[in-house]
Amino acid sequence: MTQRAFFKPLISCAAILTAMWFSAHRVAADSLVADLSENIVAITSNFTGKNLVLFGAIDRNTALSTNRLDEQASRDVIVIISGPNNQTPITVRHKERVGGVWVNTKSVVFDGVPDYYFVAASRNFADIASSEVFRRNEIRPENLKMNPVDAELDEEALNAYRTAIIRNKKREQLFYEKQGGVEFLDDTLFRANVTIPANISVGIYSTKVFLISDGRIISVQSKSLDINKTGFERSIFEFAYDSPLFYGLLAVVFALIAGWAASLAFRQE
């Protein structure tokens, strides 16, 4: 713990210094530098979710010299975190009233639905770029390429399912869409608060930072974020999946002992 607490500001400082170094040296290939305050999120017994800070810097001069943009040209940053990478299909079920009771009548299996999706932009999305740009880069939940595994429905019905996925995910606090969630501290430095909810799945997540100027993406930076259980929680989780039968038997034996111990403790003389 102390080690992490020590390294956190150190890593942050290093990243910002790197960012400044880049801006000072006008490296044409790198016009954007960004990093998360932590690249590994450890899920421990007191994990209740986490707030990460994504910070970075853009190089205005580089952008000027390479793209010939004037000083007044808009610069926007969009941040996306999604994952985990080992995505599995999900079933979306639709309820209808049958004889007064709500019943799941239809279901569609969808592929390409991230378990978690966070997007933040420095301004209103509509002001930053065209919807075509967003669609191509899977920016904003409605542009995620969520497709049915075996499609038998028309596009209109499928879209009802897609909006339902987004609505459910937002309610479960697994999808976030924050206009203005990226704030500029000055002309070059920016930061965004990223919410990692307690119900997040473990795995490797990908972070993408887009630098957009006058509606065109001029730079993209990708990073990975590792969300993992540690210590006791990890051991239990791995035990349950690696040797499930033994895990089940042990859980029962433990329950038997606990029940027996309690009845002994409360035994009447």
**Nearest-angstrom CA–CA distance, 38 and 24:** 25
Interface with other proteins, residue 93, by CB under 8 A: yes
Q: What number of chain residues touch other proteins (CB under 8 A)?
A: 65
Q: What type of residue sits at position 151?
A: A
**Rg for the chain (alpha carbons), in Å?**
24
Q: Which of 60, 75, 169, 208 binds other proteins (CB under 8 A)?
A: 169
Contact between 26 and 158 (Cβ < 8 Å)? no
Interface with other proteins, residue 170, by CB under 8 A: no
b (16+ CB within 10 A) / e for 214-234: eeebbbebeeebebebeeebe
Nearer to other proteins, 4 or 93 (CB): 93
Nearer to other proteins, 21 or 254 (CB): 254
Interface with other proteins, residue 2, by CB under 8 A: no
Half-sphere exposure of 164 (CA within 13 A, CB side): 15
Other CB atoms within 10 Å distance of the CB of residue 237: 14
Query: Among 182, 202, 204, 177, which Cα is nearest to 193's?
Result: 182
Nearer to other proteins, 90 or 217 (CB): 90
Interface with other proteins, residue 88, by CB under 8 A: yes
CB of 141 to other proteins, least distance (A): 13
CB of 69 to other proteins, least distance (A): 43
Point out which residues bind other proteins (CB under 8 A).
Answer: 43-49, 88-96, 100-104, 107, 109, 160-161, 164-165, 167-169, 171, 198-202, 229, 232-234, 236-237, 240-241, 244-245, 247-249, 251-252, 254-256, 258-268
